[in-house]
Amino acid sequence: MAKPQLEFFDTEMLPWRAVSGEAGVSERVLAQDAGTGLLTRLVRWDPGVSTSAAGPVMHEFFEEVLVLSGSLHDLRLNETFGAGCYACRPPGMIHGPWESAEGCIMLETRYENHSPR
């Protein structure tokens, strides 16, 4: 299975859905491969969201993130990133934890590592 073929559509038509286990975080899934979990989504953090209790994270997929509005603060790096800031995280890269005083909306894409071995 693969992500579906989609022509332009208004993302405002998609509902915001709560992200399981993350209070104050919701998503609009734009495209997804249900077989692998790879996806492209909008992620919204409400003002005051913090992932400090969870600590840093890492995963086994590539992740690209673009902040579209608002900002988030990286507690490990002690830096704040606002609209227009971008991250590309390869599998195994440690990142976070984060907090967002004002809230933010991000575009996130996840995909597999297809590097030759």
Tell me what the mean pLDDT of segment 26-49 comes to: 93
By the 8 A CB rule, do 99 and 75 touch? yes
- CB-count exposure of residue 86 (10 Å: 0-12, 13-18, 19+): exposed
Instruction: Please report the domains of the chain, with CATH numbers, ordered by start residue.
Output: 23-111 (2.60.120.10)
CB atoms under 10 Å from CB of 77, counted, come to 11
Reported pTM: 0.90
Beta strands 25-32 and 39-45, pairing class: antiparallel
pLDDT digits (tens, 9 = 90+) for 59-87: 989 999 999 999 999 999 999 999 999 99
